[in-house]
Structure 1
Amino acid sequence: MLLNILGPKNFFTRFSSSTKLLSVSVQRCWNSTASSAETVDLAYASYESTSDSENSSQPPLVILHGLLGSKNNWNSMSKAIHRTTGRKVISVDARNHGDSRHSPQHTYVHMAHDVMRLLKKLELSKVSLLGHSMGGRTAMVLSLLCSDLVASLIVVDISPAKTSPQIFSMATLFDAMTAVSIRPGIAMSKARKLADDQLKSFTPDINLRNFLITNLVQTNAGSFTWRVNIPALKDNFQNHISSFPSNLKGLQYCGPTLFVGGSLSDYIGKNDLPEIQEYFPLADLIFIEGAGHWVHSQKPEKFLEIVSKFLTEK
């Protein structure tokens, strides 16, 4: 397996000879939508094989993470999906996250256009999309705006039909992260411990705290900061992140679509399917027992089985 990790200034890497050139229809799609949102360069990691067993005839799978996540959260699962299906997997950092560019704008339309820009630069005419939470909504919006780009769609524990009440607690987390104060020049391990101690007063959930602390980074000067753009996320959260865009009603993506929810999560419900199918007529909805919102990390084996089966059959 070959893993390429690329920042926003270094998009081009080795691609197999089977990579399709940008089609006329995709170029037209880009031209017709690019002016509606200012895009930023995205960092990504590419998982691909040099062996003859690679399923190079199938479109790559592009993975889009959730709010306050990064491509690194999907490292193990990306490798597993590639190993199981043979598909190239491209895991992407959203704007204001990970190693991607920061921007004061953070809407699903902007994020969908960012991904379009990346696919255009990589000369990919068709991809499958997998998105979790915020990334799931980005994947949905991209599929609705530019269906010619999307061979199939997998949405993980998020819905266009409802918003979980839990999501509004994120505003508190933004404030908690902003309030963390760590003196410069100490070891990263100690800084993480200090950050965890300060976040305990805001959330007792150690798994959530560990997830947030993956965003803690040390600058060249030795100070500590968050790599996510908290001010932009906080400013855009209520109006642009917490709910699905209402102005996309009437649009449809009619390709193969799978929604995967956690049985313990309230981000998506069984009663959501009719409204989901208004946007995605071919959508199926599967729940993984015992999983909450982070389905892929809480039940990785079952998640891999379901996703790999869908990608193999569709």
Structure 2
Amino acid sequence: MFLNKLCHKNILQQIKIPALSQIAISRPSSSTDSSISETVDLAYASYESTSDESCSRPPLIILHGLLGSKNNWNSMSKAIHRTTGRKVISIDARNHGDSRHSSQHTYIHMAHDVMKLLKKLDLSKVSVLGHSMGGRTAMVLSLLCSDLVSSLVVVDISPVKTSPQIYSMVSLFDAMSGVSIRSGIAMSKARKLADEQLKAIIPDINLRNFLITNLVQTNTGSYSWRVNLPALKDNFQSHISCFPNNLKGLQYCGPSLFIGGSLSDYIGKYDLPEIQEYFPLAELTFIEGAGHWVHSQKPEKFLEVVCKFLTEK
């Protein structure tokens, strides 16, 4: 477990919360997962240039949402780097993308995973941007280790409210688990077959296309999902769908921007006072015409809002 001295000091001064050593960790029985401990190594992509200007401000860490990956943020990461000059590091969460799998999937675990990576990269100060699940991870990271976080951007999620729509995710886990594709066929054919099988349960083609980005072919020619569906389903109700209830009393007092989609109900216009109980300097803005996937539905406006905040803060 990694927590630097500053993080320990922040936690002890404000409230006693469980460290990872106090959380029961169930070890996977699979031999391929036997080396997984409390934190996991995270895959990441870095966007940077060699100019001195790009290194003058803290890097921006980007944390994707549930069933997403760092690849979803490729274009936006490049655009933010070009616009702000900041180094951008987009990360795969545990049980997603190219990161390691674990039977545990809580926001405390995910925040510690990020801390471990930042220590590995020798980064003592970063700005953090997170969408949905990644937004809550970003919030927990800033609350547990406020001296590490220069500024915070949270996209269409809050610590005080959960959209009823979030519970439909369980049906997505089941739909993905039910997909069956024979080995040895081309990826294009496999994607088409997956789409046909998902269509009966998921009518939204954009959502299906998003889910199918997780389809991968193994060395043996068989197909599987790169997300750890069993772990996500097991942890969804108790840990993923809700903000941790043992962080009350903690605050992150740095610059904080909450961005909501005007068509989404994941964050409401009256949520700000409760958000500010955790994040006293929080600002709340909405992007018109955007739903939950604000960054992909209104990318130009999203880029403008985020870069303005990062430049000023």
Q: Do Structure 1 and Structure 2 share a fold, with TM-score over 0.5?
A: yes
* Cα distance change of structure 1 residues 245 and 167 upon mapping to structure 2, 3 Å threshold: same
CA distance in 1, matches of 2:22, 2:95: 19
Q: Which residue of 1 aligns with 2:292?
A: 293
- Structure 2 residue identity aligned to 1:169: S
Is contact 1:64–1:93 with CA below 8 Å preserved after alignment?
Answer: yes
Q: Give 1:129-140 correspondences, 5 Å limit.
A: 129-140=128-139
Q: Give 1:251-270 correspondences, 5 Å limit.
A: 251-270=250-269
- Structure 2 residue identity aligned to 1:35: S
Q: Which residue of 1 aligns with 2:162?
A: 163
Q: Which residue of 2 aligns with 1:239?
A: 238
> What is the CA RMSD across the aligned residues, in angstroms?
1.8
Q: Secondary structure at the match of 1:222?
A: coil
- Structure 2 residue identity aligned to 1:175: D
How far does the alpha carbon of each residue in 1:228-257 deviate from its partner, in whole angstroms, 9 at most, with x for none? 000000000000000101111111000000
Q: Which residue of 1 aligns with 2:64?
A: 65
Q: Which residue of 2 aligns with 1:278?
A: 277
Q: Which residue of 2 aligns with 1:45?
A: 45
What is the number of equivalent residue pairs in this alignment? Answer: 292
Q: Secondary structure at the match of 2:270?
A: helix
Whether 1:35 and 2:35 are equivalent positions in the alignment is: no
CA distance in 2, matches of 1:199, 1:79: 31
Q: Unpaired segments of 5 or more residues in structure 1?
A: 1-21
Is contact 1:139–1:155 with CA below 8 Å preserved after alignment?
Answer: yes
Query: Displacement, 1:50?
Result: 1.6
Query: Displacement, 1:55?
Result: 2.8
* Cα distance change of structure 1 residues 206 and 122 upon mapping to structure 2, 3 Å threshold: same
Q: Unpaired segments of 5 or more residues in structure 2?
A: 12-17, 24-37
Q: Which residue of 1 aligns with 2:174?
A: 175
Question: Deviating runs (4+, > 2 A) in structure 1?
Answer: 22-30, 32-37
CA distance in 2, matches of 1:213, 1:36: 37
CA distance in 1, matches of 2:195, 2:8: 47
CA distance in 1, matches of 2:40, 2:266: 28
Q: Secondary structure at the match of 2:260?
A: strand
Normalised to the residue count of structure 2, the TM-score between the two structures is 0.90
CA distance in 2, matches of 1:85, 1:242: 33
Q: Give 1:114-129 correspondences, 5 Å limit.
A: 114-129=113-128
CA distance in 2, matches of 1:48, 1:78: 10
- Structure 2 residue identity aligned to 1:25: L
Q: Which residue of 2 aligns with 1:16?
A: none
Query: Displacement, 1:63?
Result: 0.2
- Structure 2 residue identity aligned to 1:99: D
Query: Displacement, 1:56?
Result: 1.2
Is contact 1:23–1:125 with CA below 8 Å preserved after alignment?
Answer: no
